[in-house]
Amino acid sequence: MPSSLFFSGVFDLPWWGLVLVALALTHVTIASVTIFLHRHQAHRALDLHPLASHFFRFWLWLTTGMVTKEWAAVHRKHHAKCDTPEDPHSPQVLGIQRVLWRGVFLYVREARKPETIVRYGHGTPDDWIERHVYSRHKILGIVAMGVLDMLLFGVLPGALILLVQIVWIPFWAAGVVNGIGHYWGYRNWPAPDASTNISPIGILIGGEELHNNHHAFPSSARLSYKWYEFDVGWLYIRVLQALGLATVKHVAPTPRFTAAPRPVVDPDTVQAVIRCHYDVLTRYGRSLKQAYAEELGRLRRVAPEDARALRGVRRWLVRDERALDASRRERLARALRGSKALDTMYAMRGELTALWSRSSATGEQLARQLQDWCQRAEASGIAPLAAFSRRLRCYA
């Protein structure tokens, strides 16, 4: 092999060309993680053709050395124990700095626990090549990719490209998504955890930036929901679908409404409400905020002390009670005692969520419960609550 080929590689690219190559290669890795490991393996949101599935497995072996069973198991446990002390990588428990900068070590620690793999790693590939190559020789793939990078782009450029490939997923996926995605950002849905959408434009991390959307609808193959959100991973899935290489199984439900409220709640209404319960909670939150503004204005005139207490708990009104510690719950309860309207709305929010919280009631029983809830809401004299109830009876 000529010395020029050894040092320069097959492709003698300028520095900016090498940067573009590194970004392109790491983007393929990001797409492999979000499409194959996350949406296909961990959540079964889509089926992949064996050709596409094995390409993603092979590419991840070359660039990350991650084992499919381990990744799926750790991620499923994260959902099952989200933002609790048993969560493998919650910044709410472990601190943002630890998860952001050392998230990969948290992942490795959890992946080494046999009980996690046995309980959460079911249904992942277990063929000959997985057992004898991908799982057994995890480092071999990275070594092969390093040699290929150096042959194609030169020793030093190839080594730098390999380094970028090695650190890309540990930082962006294990650090940024698992860290910032449960610490900072905006929330479309009142999920019971601290998940957030980092950015409405999901390109850099393949759509994983839309993390709150994902926690609200874990089995959805599409992570974008609002009109202004873009999920590049979903774009790639649609392309694979057009080529016959993917079949989408689940997407987040889109609410539908009748032209007028049903006079009587029936089991179909209950099913629609349960299916779209995050949309229901989001709309309820808006009604609660409207009632809050009205009550705050009234209390400022007649009870300034109650108004001050209410201002201090505004952000907790629309949060799940389980997400508040004991001191905050007590402070919220004291503030609500100064406003009958808000106290009623907060209590009725809990009653509403009980409809889909592991209820063992029949469809007819749930319909009667929801009918009773709507009657009490519309007779409460609280205008935002009554308007919400009428809208609730429109879910189809």
Across residues 190-217, what is the average pLDDT? 94
Residues 25-36, mean pLDDT to the nearest whole number: 97
Q: Quick check: 79 pLDDT over 70?
A: yes
- Angle, vertex CA 65, rays to CA 62 and CA 67, nearest 5: 125
Question: Which of 61-65, 218-222, 248-252, 358-362 is predicted least confidently?
Answer: 358-362
Counting residues of the chain whose pLDDT is more than 70, the rounded percentage is: 97
Contacts 24+ apart (CB under 8 A), 386-391: 387/287, 388/283, 388/284, 388/287, 390/261, 391/257, 391/261, 391/283
Per-residue pLDDT tens over the stretch 133-153: 999 999 999 999 999 999 999
Query: pLDDT grade, residue 1 (50/70/90)?
Result: very low
pLDDT on residue 70 = 97
Structure tokens at 48: 């992949």
Predicted confidence at residue 9, as pLDDT, reads 77
**For the chain, how big is the Rg over CA atoms in Å?**
25
Q: What does the pLDDT average to over 192-201? A: 94
- pLDDT above 70: residue 5: no
pLDDT value at position 308?
A: 86
Average pLDDT of span 261-280: 92
pLDDT for the residue numbered 355? 85
Q: In this structure, are residues 386 and 377 in contact, taking their beta carbons and an 8 Å threshold? A: yes
Q: What does the pLDDT read at residue 327? A: 86
What pLDDT is stored for residue 358 in this prediction? 62
Give the confidence band of 306 by pLDDT, cuts at 50, 70, 90.
confident
| Cβ atoms within 10 Å, residue 117 | 20
Q: What is the mean pLDDT of the chain?
A: 92
Q: What is the mean pLDDT of residues 222-230?
A: 96
Question: What is the mean predicted confidence (pLDDT) over 172-184?
Answer: 94
Would you state the pLDDT for residue 184?
Answer: 94
List Cβ neighbours of 255 (8 Å cut-off, separation of 6 or more): 272, 276, 279, 395
Q: What pLDDT was estimated at residue 174?
A: 92
Whole-angstrom distance, CA of residue 266 vs CA of residue 259: 16
Average pLDDT for 373-383: 96
Instruction: For 71-118, give the secondary structure using H, E and C.
Output: HHHHHHHHHHCCCCCCCCCCHHHHCHHHHHHHHHHHHHHHHCCHHHHH
Give residue 336's pLDDT band: very low, low, confident or very high (50, 70, 90): confident
Q: What is the pLDDT of residues 231-255, one digit of tens each?
A: 999 999 999 999 999 999 999 999 9
CA 348 – CA 357 distance, rounded (Å) = 14
Give the model confidence (pLDDT) of 86-118 as tens digits: 999 999 999 999 999 999 999 999 999 999 999
Share of the chain above pLDDT 90, in %: 80
Give the per-residue pLDDT at 86: 96
Rounded to the nearest angstrom, the gap between the alpha carbon of residue 345 and the centroid of all alpha carbons in its chain is: 28
Residue 319 has pLDDT above 90, yes or no: no
pLDDT-derived band at 359 (thresholds 50, 70, 90) equals low
> According to the model, what pLDDT value does residue 304 have?
87
